[in-house]
Amino acid sequence: MNPTTEKFKKNIYNIIPVPYEHHPTIFDIDYLKLKKLGFNTLLFDYDFTLAPWKQPIDNKTVDLFKKLYEMGFKIAVVSNGPEKRIKNVKEKMREKVKIYWKMKKPFSEKIKKVLEDLDSRPKNTVLIGDLFFTDILVGNKNGLYTILVNPYTYEIDSFYKKIAAIVSKSLYFIFFYTFGWLFRVMDLAVPNEFAETIFDIDYKKLKQKDYKLLIFDFDNTLTTWRSEKLPDDIIELFGELSKDFKIMIASNGKEYRFDNIKKQLEMYNIKVMGYSLKPLPFRIKKRVQEFNIESTHVVLIGDQLFTDIIAGNKNGFYTIKVEPISSRERFFTKILRFFEKISIKTMREKPKF
């Protein structure tokens, strides 16, 4: 079945605690990106996510909540602890943040009631927590977008609380590097969208969502493998797109291959880079910094899950996979295509416009 029309079904991701994203703290999450992707509700765990165990939230967290409220998010705290532990949030935030206690995570029933109370849908809701076997598991079971953060250790003055935070973090990394690593790699290869060709992408919608830079793979995305010239219809498309976007081509091919391509695109000021080393993210990230554009405003478009899409997702870009133009490609790429077919059948859907 073509992945552009295939409906994603419930799969193993709904019953294992693998998050969509993992960040050091709640302050490192790209909330603007979440807003652009259509999320309107944020559910936060409390202990070790918002504050040290049994401690009130600090001013930095209060300021974050105010900012998120102004962005239009509905915000709630969902804790397994008692009301007295989290009522300081209500006192400091009043009607801006709702609180729910004794949630019995990872069991699902109370989370469902929270969503009903907030008048929120699972597909528009993010759950953020520090425990993969309670917070992330209950979020996945309920079809929420889940984000794992490291246990809160900022200004913890208790030796025992620090030990508890370290144990929690260690458990996740044990899981990640044993049973969970395969699922994380497969998750990184999931694009936000599928399209047949680059001509089928809704660029008007990307402009409306304030995307500013388009990064295209080259071989089998723009033209056939090892070609040293772009077709006229691609040049024409780039001429139109350059009115609204900055454009860059990032290929794993050798630099000398693109001398003629650079001349073709010179009039549109389109950057072309070889040796991009996808799926490694750092060379593309460094080049994007030259545009002075945040990753939240970047789209990466390519034909390979395990090179293009992983590189884009690692950099926090919006990713779109297109079908390869030709079956002619490297032998190693053909091997990856086999694993792509398996991955597409098992992957969980990522948010899109």
The whole-angstrom distance between residue 224's C-alpha and the CA centroid of its chain comes to 29
Are residue 232 and residue 151 in the same domain, yes or no?
no
Give the domain-ending residue among 126, 157, 179. 179
Among 33-42, 233-242, 327-336, the minimum mean pLDDT is found in: 327-336
Are residue 199 and residue 99 in the same domain, yes or no?
no
Instruction: Please state, in angstroms and rounded to a whole number, the distance separating the CA atoms of residues 25 and 46.
Output: 13
Tens digit of each residue's pLDDT (9 = 90 or more) over 88-124: 999 999 889 999 999 999 998 999 999 999 999 999 9
pLDDT of residue 15: 72
Are residue 21 and residue 170 in the same domain, yes or no?
yes
| More confident call, 133 vs 219 | 219
Is 185 among the domain residues? no
- The pLDDT confidence band at residue 5, using thresholds 50, 70 and 90, is very low
Give the domain-ending residue among 120, 147, 179. 179
- Does a cis peptide bond (omega within 30 degrees of 0) precede residue 231? no
Are residue 201 and residue 342 in the same domain, yes or no?
yes
Is 2 among the domain residues? no
Are residue 164 and residue 225 in the same domain, yes or no?
no
- C-alpha distances out from residue 44 to 5, 125, 286, Å: 33, 11, 33
Q: Is the pLDDT of residue 67 over 80?
A: yes
- C-alpha distances out from residue 55 to 49, 85, 156, 257, 271, Å: 11, 7, 9, 59, 51
pLDDT of residue 1: 38
Q: Which structure tokens are listed for 44?
A: 């936060």
Strands 246-250 and 271-273: parallel
pLDDT of residue 226: 83
| More confident call, 344 vs 161 | 344
Is 11 among the domain residues? no
Q: Count Cβ atoms below 10 Å from residue 163 Cβ, excluding itself.
A: 11
Q: Is the pLDDT of residue 3 over 70?
A: no
Instruction: Look at the chain and report how many structural domains it folds into.
Output: 2
- In this structure, the dihedral spanned by the alpha carbons of residues 243, 38, 351 and 199, taken in order and rounded to 10 degrees, is -20
Q: What is the 3-state secondary structure (H, E, C) of the chain?
A: CCCCCCCCCCCHHHCCCCCCEEECCHHHCCHHHHHHCCCCEEEECCECCCECCCCCCCHHHHHHHHHHHHCCCEEEEECCCCHHHHHHHHHHHHHHEEEECCCCCCCCHHHHHHHHHHCCCHHHEEEEECCHHHHHHHHHHCCCEEEEECCCCCCCCCHHHHHHHHHHHHHHHHHHCCCCHHHHHHHHCCCCEEECCHHHCCHHHHHHCCCCEEEECCECCCECCCCCCCCHHHHHHHHHHCCCCEEEEECCCCHHHHHHHHHHHHHHCCEEECCCCCCCCHHHHHHHHCCCCCHHHEEEEECCHHHHHHHHHHCCCEEEEECCCCCCCCHHHHHHHHHHHHHHHHCCCCCCC
Closest CA to 132 of 21, 17, 3: 17
Q: Is the pLDDT of residue 135 over 70?
A: yes
Tens digit of each residue's pLDDT (9 = 90 or more) over 295-318: 999 999 999 999 999 999 999 999
Instruction: Please state, in angstroms and rounded to a whole number, the distance separating the CA atoms of residues 41 and 138.
Output: 16
CATH number at residue 212: 3.40.50.1000
Q: Is the pLDDT of residue 8 over 50?
A: no
- Does a cis peptide bond (omega within 30 degrees of 0) precede residue 279? yes
Tens digit of each residue's pLDDT (9 = 90 or more) over 145-193: 999 998 876 655 567 666 766 776 677 677 777 766 777 777 889 999 9
The whole-angstrom distance between residue 39's C-alpha and the CA centroid of its chain comes to 12
Are residue 165 and residue 226 in the same domain, yes or no?
no
pLDDT of residue 13: 63
Give the domain-ending residue among 179, 207, 240. 179
| More confident call, 347 vs 241 | 241
Are residue 217 and residue 155 in the same domain, yes or no?
no
- The pLDDT confidence band at residue 204, using thresholds 50, 70 and 90, is very high
Range of the domain at 314: 193-346
